[in-house]
Amino acid sequence: MGASSWLATLTVACAVVATADAAAAPRVLVAADAAPSVSEQMLAQSLFDEARQLMERGKYAEACPKLAESQRLDPGGGTLLNLAICHEKEGRFGTAYLEMKAASSQAVKEGRKDREKIANERLAALASRVPRLAVHVAADEPDLEVRVDGTTLRKPAWDLLTVVDPGPHVIDASAPNKAPFRQTITLAEGESRTVQIPPLLAGGGRAGEGAAARAIDPSAPTPETRTNPLFVGAVATGVTGFVVGVPAGYVWGMTTLLKGTCSPERDSLFCPSDGVRNAWLVAAVAGLSVGVLGVIGIAALPRKIQVAPTASPSAAGAAVVGVF
């Protein structure tokens, strides 16, 4: 959702009506350059009606694109408000926030107090849920290009906390004759973060590799988290050992305690021969030993492992990392 969410946010910000006194305040364009044709209006209405039905069934991922297309064909304050609500329900809080602000402004222009009230109430609820992302450039290189999710971020927007959607976002920086920088971060609901772009290194290598700014290639295979089979084996070993050892130890203990009350003619579970009694002892010791080994394995082995495919020009394999 990273690239699409950022592009959707900037698409909303780019479709604005510019004003002399508020150039930095994005407003979604709700008045078309040319009036839509009758066929466009009919299609837009059909899309709107179907999207509303999908929203009522909780199918927001299907409803939102239909509302967006309806708004494109026949822009209107009501469609825009529904689109913002749909994106909010879908979890795209940054996109919904910008659309909701535009819907509120449009409702004021149209004198729709009902829509204005709904938009402002939802804006107040969204304010604390919207993630915000800023990019700080440590050294302004000649011809430096900074991109967030593939969209160029020009110098006036550096260090500016911008609303985005929750999820992963990829930050790139590049300049001629410099090693490129890339970092992927994941923003949670309501989280604000500033990504530091360090001075780009000359020549080969990738800037930002190392401690906290290691580059992440979004095209690389996603590590797969699996249950560690060794951990499962340790659990099975421990359970089996104690299931065998504890009852065997109990029987051996009882036979030992009752040995003095047994007669040669009396042969039962707690009055066995010496050979049987010793067999119970062996079973108890072996079972408890196996159980202890299982407990040690449970404590020492990771429960999960991450398996990430790796490849090089000469070989292919997989990196395995334990997750405790």
pLDDT tens by residue, 1-12: 444 444 444 444
Quick one: DSSP state of residue 271?
B
Q: Hey, where are the domains in the chain?
A: 2-126, 132-197, 227-300
The Cβ of residue 24 has, within 10 Å, a number of other Cβ atoms equal to 8
pLDDT tens by residue, 244-275: 888 888 887 887 887 767 766 656 667 777 77
Q: Which CATH number fits domain 132-197: 1.10.260, 1.10.3470, 2.60.40, 3.40.50?
A: 2.60.40
Provide the sign of the torsion angle of the four alpha carbons 63, 69, 73, 77, taken in this order.
positive
- pLDDT at position 120, please? 95
- pLDDT at position 61, please? 95
- pLDDT at position 318, please? 53
Do 70 and 44 touch, CB atoms closer than 8 A?
Answer: yes
- pLDDT at position 186, please? 95
Asked if the domains at 2-126 and 132-197 fall in one CATH topology, the answer is no
| Cα(32)–Cα(79) distance, integer angstroms | 14
- pLDDT at position 293, please? 85
Q: Which residues of the chain have pLDDT under 70?
A: 1-33, 204-225, 260, 263-269, 305-324
- pLDDT at position 313, please? 43
Helix (H) or strand (E) holding 317: strand 316-323
pLDDT tens by residue, 277-305: 788 788 888 878 888 887 887 887 777 76
Do 307 and 320 touch, CB atoms closer than 8 A?
Answer: yes
Provide DSSP, 214-238. ----TTSPPPEEEE-HHHHHHHHHH
CATH code of the region 2-126: 1.25.40.10
- pLDDT at position 212, please? 40
